[in-house]
Amino acid sequence: MTNVSEKSKLTTYGNIINGKIVQAKDGAVADSIDPSTGEVWAKIPSSKKEDAELVIQAARGAFEGWADLPARTRGDYMRKIGDMIPKYAAELLELETRNNGWVLDEYGYLAEVLKQVWYDAASAATLVGGQGRTVQMGAGDFGFTVRKPYGVVVGILPWNAPLFTFTIKAAYALAAGNTVVIKPAESGAVGSLRYGELISQILPPGVLNVISGSGREIGDYLVSHEEVNKVSLTGSKATAERITKATAHSPKSLIFELGGKSPNIVFEDANIEQAVHGLINGIFTPNSGQICVGGSRMLIQRSIYDEVIGRLKELMTDKEFVKHGNTLDSTNTMGPIANEAQFKSVCRYIDEASKDEYEVVFGGKYGGQEVLPGQPEFADGYWVQPTLVKVADNRTKLAREEIFGPVAVAIPFDTEEEAIQIANDTNFGLAAGVWTQNLGLAHRMIDKLQAGNVWVNTYARVGADLPFSGVKESGYGTDSILDYSQEKACVINIG
């Protein structure tokens, strides 16, 4: 179990290595900051290379035994983990909320989703993980393939949704017969460390390991290690570039799910009220725009542009609709930015929006004293008002760079062709939303939009039974059992 530090009186969480809870070998710890208050609320290991070596060797040592298990047996383990989720859901969701500041209500769905992913992985283990193909090679040769695990998989998590990304990386990698090392972001590590502790009580030692530390201290070491066979990152383009360079001398299979600058497109025939709420939920509440698929570019047909903008402003300036405050209070609808570095980055974009050439429709303030006046306990928190900025076209900095906060631009368009041109005018290609009642238009947009995920009359709907990946600079590959296993070709001469 976790322990309480006598010095700090704060809960101290440990790495999970070979089925045991351990601290960094040199005893170093880092602070976990509650973004709503800016105060330390827990301690986590500050691991170094020697700790990273231990975690890799634990995974390597467990690999052969785990890979040799029948796929059905691995599936049984996955189901046991899924069965465990409801028992600890409340604890995990509270830790996740304090980790990254998302309001508790945003996580209402999460426990059920995590459970279903583990169940899905259990089924996939038997239906897909161990199966291959037969190939007619000719009269004298019989060809077939078998699916084999890669070996040791390193999963690198973002700070904005660590429990979800932990699950989709670990569940399918384990189901395919790999052993796993999870490295959470330091500002979102607590929930992952506790989650790993619970899972390790079910799995054989070393099959799943979790290690906390900075990317510079242990990240490069983990991904470049010769005994690591595959890396899956959910994160930024900059981190992907760093991993690519670090693995150049020891090439391995990579999955990158990176950022986005997603268009959320409203046509004049859309259900306006439905579309407005879809725009709001896509970038403002309840995650404060801290999702990779955030609909940060609102493309609105000119004939309804003023109407949509007016309704957005009406709702987002309603203090009963947008409520900041204690993230564990389910009546609040919007939390802070997850960490100080990201808060400062978002604030710089808001300062940019205040320049003369832009029109700020609503928002534009940041800091606890500005956003939550009269609530001194949140004065030092990383709070940002939801902010919408009118821009004439897609060429501005605010329209082109990923902000990763509750800041969006509104861009007018006239025709379907113009909407497609603006939507695709970006280096990213993770997601897009379309709001229309015209089925033909919806299908044309799905066909033409350069995005790995397209949603029509809904937004950010993902599931265990659908792939999730990007195009262009938003990455490649999926966290699926097929991507965590590789086909091995075999030919037998039968004379």
Question: Annotated active-site positions, please?
Answer: 257, 292
Residue type, 247: T
How many Å apart are CA 234 and CA 420, to the nearest integer? Answer: 27
Sheet holding 475-476, edge to edge: 20-22, 15-17, 208-210, 179-183, 152-156, 230-234, 253-257, 475-476
331-345 as b/e: b if 16+ CB within 10 A = ebbbbbbbbeebbee
Distances (CA, A) of 63 to 36, 81, 153, 377: 41, 19, 10, 48
Q: What angle do CA 417, 421, 422 make, to 5 degrees?
A: 120
How far is residue 337's CA from residue 160's CA, in Å, rounded to a whole number? Answer: 9
Q: How far apart (Å, rounded) are the C-alpha atoms in residues 484 and 253?
A: 9
Q: How far apart are CA 477 and CA 5, in angstroms?
A: 41
Structure tokens at 183: 């490295």
Nearest-angstrom CA–CA distance, 242 and 240: 5
In angstroms, the CA 54 to CA 469 distance is 31
Task: Provide the residue type at 57 as one letter.
Answer: Q
- Largest pairwise CA distance in the chain: 86
Is residue 369 classed exposed, middle or buried when 0-12, 13-18 and 19+ CB atoms within 10 A define those classes? middle
